[in-house]
Structure 1
Amino acid sequence: MATVVDCADAVSLLPGMREARAAIARGDLVVMPTDTVYGIAADAFQPNAVQALLDAKGRGRTAPPPVLVPNRSTLDALAETVPEAVSALADAFWPGGLTIVLPARSTLAWDLGETSGTVALRMPDDRIALELLAETGPLAVSSANLTGKPAAQTALDALYQLGDSIAVYLDAGSTPGPDPSTIIDATALVDGTGPLRVLREGVISREQLEAVVPEAFSIPESEPAEDGLDAADAQVARQAAAEADADEAIPVDQPKPTE
Structure 2
Amino acid sequence: MTKVSLEELIASARSGFVVSFPTDTVPALAVLPEKAALIFATKQRSQDKPLILMAADSEDLWPYVQGSEAEYQIWQQVVDQYWPGGLTLVLPASDRVPKAMNPTDPTTIGIRVPKSAIAQKILSQTGPLATTSANLSGQPALETMAEIAAQFAEVMTWESTATEFSSKNTALSQPSTVAKWTGSNWQILRQGAVNLDV
TM, length-normalised to structure 1: 0.68
Alpha-carbon separation, structure 1, partners of 2:96 and 2:113: 22
CA distance in 2, matches of 1:170, 1:185: 35
Q: Which moved more, 1:116-125 or 1:60-69?
A: 60-69
Does the alignment pair 1:26 with 2:15? yes
Which of these two proteins has the greater Rg computed from alpha carbons?
1
Give the total of aligned pairs: 188
Structure 1 residue ranges, 4+ long, deviating more than 6 angstroms after superposition: none
Which structure has more relative contact order (CA 8 Å, sep 6+)? It is: 2
1:23 shift after superposition: 1.1
Equivalent of 1:181 in 159, 176, 189: 176
**One of 76, 90, 94 as aligned partner of 1:87:** 76
Q: CA RMSD in A?
A: 1.7
Q: Which residue of 2 aligns with 1:3?
A: 2
Please give the residue correspondences for 1:1-259 in structure 2 after superposition, counting only pairs within 5 Å: 2-5=1-4, 16-44=5-33, 46=34, 49-81=35-67, 82-109=71-98, 111-112=100-101, 113-164=103-154, 166-171=155-160, 172-174=164-166, 175-176=169-170, 177-186=172-181, 188-189=182-183, 194-206=184-196, 209-210=197-198
CA offset digits 1:11-43 (Å, max 9, x no partner)? xxxxx1221122112211101000011110101
Q: What stretches of structure 2 of length at least 5 have no aligned partner?
A: none
Please name the residue that 1:224 is paired with: none
* Deviation (angstroms), 1:168: 3.1
Report the TM-score when normalising by structure 2: 0.87
Q: What are structure 1's unaligned runs of at least 5 residues? A: 6-15, 211-259
Q: Contact 1:68–1:122 at 8 Å: present in 2 too?
A: yes
Distance 1:73 1:133, change over 3 A: same
State the identity as a percent. Answer: 29
Matched-pair contact (CA < 8 Å) for 2:13–2:32: yes
Q: CA deviation at 1:124?
A: 0.3
8 Å CA contact retained: 1:94, 1:124: yes
Indicate the structure with greater strand content: 2
Shift of 1:107: 4.0
